[in-house]
């Protein structure tokens, strides 16, 4: 009998197909061979091929836009949103619109031509994670922005294109994205009733039940969530409650780097280097105003969601927000626990 499971935070129902489901080892994420690029604009020595850098980690205090960096942030060449201008909110008949103001940046995660973040060292991943925090804090100063979304598209099926150089992106938006709002209001509802954070409760239950737990290490857990939308969907949650990604100290970032390395390596080894996306879920910027939401520090809990792209999302999922997951998360977690890295 398949099961219907409800996401405790945003209330989305998912069909967990237990019978027709493939076995975990039947999923194969193997990607088509990419064409080898002549020159990669993200490699050390090609700095002039990108727009001038916004920030960079340069241990030897080398000059901007020159070699000698470890992590480098540049504006996107084809930005979705533009940094200059006012929002100019307006109506058009019954429709609402505003100008596409925002920031769109690329975080180049290594000066070497390495495709998958899983192949970077723990320390290098930590530097990238620290760089995210720095960019979010910097963009918060711009009063036009409400949210910064940090995400990664790795591999063609995940929208990462054919350029095989490890990078992530961030987009600062002038409105709170819908999905973020749903998560926030779901968490607040739970808090209003229980006076506890839903994520903290979830962490407690997952550590106790163990069957969806992939990793419990250095203050973080990695789980296959109860109402997973996709086979091998993974969430990484900090055990220490905090609403904002940026509240981590350098020790926490160091440990998160280690956890990311293990989880991404398990995916790579266990599923034949699949394409994947990850998204950092963090609280929006808080700017004092009337009706200001006072419990967000207590009711929301930052985390990372990783989605390997192993199946195609069809019309059913788009139209309904109702997902069919062909692999129970318990089986996915047990498989990933067994992958030695």
Partner 1 sequence: MAELRRDPIVGRWVIVDTDHPSAPGDFKYEQNIQKGGTCPFCYGNEAMTPPEIDVFREGGTAPNTSGWQVRVVPNKFPALGVEGELNRRPLGLYDMSNGIGAHEVLIETPYHAKDICDLLPQEVENYLKMCCRRAVDLAKDKRFKYLMFFRNFGSAAGASLEHPHTQIVALPMVPKNALEEIHGAKSYFDYRERCIFCDIIRQETQEKNRIILENKYFISFCPFVSRFPFEIWIMPKKHSGHFCYMPPEEIAALAVILKDTIAKIKKVFVNLSYNYIIHSAPINGDGEVEYYHWHIEFMPKLTQTAGFEWGTGFYIDPTSPELAAQYLKGIKE
Note whether 164 binds partner 1 by CB under 8 A: no
Q: Between residues 130 and 303, which has the closer beta carbon with respect to partner 1?
A: 303
Q: Cα dist. 174→89, 152, 168, 232, 297 in Å?
A: 11, 20, 20, 32, 21
Site for partner 1 in 222-251 (CB under 8 A): 226-227
Note whether 205 binds partner 1 by CB under 8 A: yes
Q: Match 């992590």 to its residue by tokens.
A: 71
Residue 291 to residue 294: CA distance in whole angstroms: 9
Number of residues that bind partner 1 (CB under 8 A): 73
Site for partner 1 in 101-120 (CB under 8 A): 101
Q: Which stretch binds partner 1 (CB under 8 A): 5-13, 57-65, 214-222, 252-260?
A: 5-13
Q: Between residues 119 and 182, which has the closer beta carbon with respect to partner 1?
A: 182
Note whether 307 binds partner 1 by CB under 8 A: yes
Beta carbon of residue 177, minimum distance to partner 1 (angstroms, whole number): 3
Q: Match 């920030």 to its residue by tokens.
A: 55
**HSE (CB half, 13 Å, CA atoms) of 8?**
12
Total number of residues shown for the chain: 341
Binding residue (CB under 8 A) for partner 1 from 30, 77, 98, 338: 98
Task: Look up residue 332 and give its DSSP letter.
Answer: H
Note whether 28 binds partner 1 by CB under 8 A: no
Q: Between residues 193 and 292, which has the closer beta carbon with respect to partner 1?
A: 193
Q: Between residues 289 and 312, which has the closer beta carbon with respect to partner 1?
A: 312
Per DSSP bridges, beta strands 167-173 and 303-308 are unpaired
Q: Between residues 99 and 265, which has the closer beta carbon with respect to partner 1?
A: 99
Note whether 97 binds partner 1 by CB under 8 A: yes
Q: Which stretch binds partner 1 (CB under 8 A): 33-41, 120-128, 285-293, 317-325?
A: 317-325
Beta carbon of residue 255, minimum distance to partner 1 (angstroms, whole number): 23
Beta carbon of residue 340, minimum distance to partner 1 (angstroms, whole number): 28
Beta carbon of residue 314, minimum distance to partner 1 (angstroms, whole number): 3
Residue 106: which of 173, 38, 178, 41 has the closest Cα? Answer: 41
Residue 282 to residue 300: CA distance in whole angstroms: 8
Site string for partner 1, 168-197 (x = CB under 8 A): -x-x-xxx-xxxx-x---------------
Note whether 135 binds partner 1 by CB under 8 A: no
Q: Which residues does 55 contact at the CB level (< 8 Å), separation at least 6?
A: 72, 73, 131, 134, 135, 138
Site for partner 1 in 66-95 (CB under 8 A): 78, 80-82, 85, 92-95
Note whether 34 binds partner 1 by CB under 8 A: no
Instruction: Check: CB of residue 225 under 8 Å from CB of residue 327.
Output: no
Residue 82 to residue 75: CA distance in whole angstroms: 10
Q: Between residues 174 and 274, which has the closer beta carbon with respect to partner 1?
A: 174
Residue 234 to residue 236: CA distance in whole angstroms: 7
Start-to-end Cα distance in the chain? 34
Binding residue (CB under 8 A) for partner 1 from 46, 55, 65, 99: 99
Count CB-CB contacts under 10 A for residue 251: 10
CA 8 from chain center: how many Å? 19
Binding residue (CB under 8 A) for partner 1 from 134, 189, 265, 322: 322
Q: Which residues does 332 contact at the CB level (< 8 Å), separation at least 6?
A: 24, 224, 228, 231, 232, 233
Instruction: Check: CB of residue 124 under 8 Å from CB of residue 111.
Output: no
Beta carbon of residue 220, minimum distance to partner 1 (angstroms, whole number): 19
Note whether 15 binds partner 1 by CB under 8 A: yes
């Amino acid at each position: 009998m398949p099961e219907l499971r409800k996401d405790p935070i945003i209330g989305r129902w998912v069909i967990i197909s237990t019978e027709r489901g493939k076995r975990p080892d039947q999923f194969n994420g193997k990607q088509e061979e990419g064409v080898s690029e002549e020159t990669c604009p993200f490699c050390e020595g090609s700095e002039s091929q990108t727009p001038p850098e916004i920030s960079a980690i340069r241990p030897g205090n080398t000059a901007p836009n020159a070699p000698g960096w470890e992590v480098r942030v540049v504006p996107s060449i084809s930005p979705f949103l533009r940094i200059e201008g006012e929002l100019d909110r307006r109506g058009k008949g019954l429709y609402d619109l505003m100008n596409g103001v925002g920031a769109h940046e690329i975080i180049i995660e290594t000066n070497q031509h390495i495709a998958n973040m899983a192949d970077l060292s723990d320390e290098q991943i930590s530097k990238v994670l620290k760089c995210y925090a720095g960019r979010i804090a910097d963009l918060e100063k711009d009063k036009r922005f409400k949210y910064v979304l940090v995400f990664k598209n790795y591999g063609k099926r995940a929208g990462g294109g054919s350029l095989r150089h490890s990078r992530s992106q961030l987009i600062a938006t002038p409105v709170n994205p819908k999905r973020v709002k749903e998560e926030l209001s779901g968490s607040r509802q739970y808090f209003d009733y229980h006076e506890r954070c839903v994520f903290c409760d979830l962490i407690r239950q997952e550590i106790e039940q163990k069957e969806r737990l992939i990793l419990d290490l250095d203050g973080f857990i990695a789980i296959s969530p109860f109402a997973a939308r996709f086979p091998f969907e993974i969430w990484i949650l900090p055990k220490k409650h905090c609403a904002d990604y940026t509240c981590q100290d350098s020790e926490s970032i160091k440990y998160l780097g280690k956890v990311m390395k293990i989880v991404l390596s398990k995916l790579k080894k266990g599923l034949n280097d699949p394409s994947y996306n990850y998204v950092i879920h963090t609280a929006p910027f808080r700017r004092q105003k009337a009706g200001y939401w006072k419990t967000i520090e207590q009711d929301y809990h930052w985390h990372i969601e990783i989605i390997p792209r192993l199946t195609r999302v069809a019309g059913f999922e788009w139209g309904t927000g109702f997902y069919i997951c062909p692999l129970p998360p318990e089986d996915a977690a047990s498989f990933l626990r067994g992958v030695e890295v």
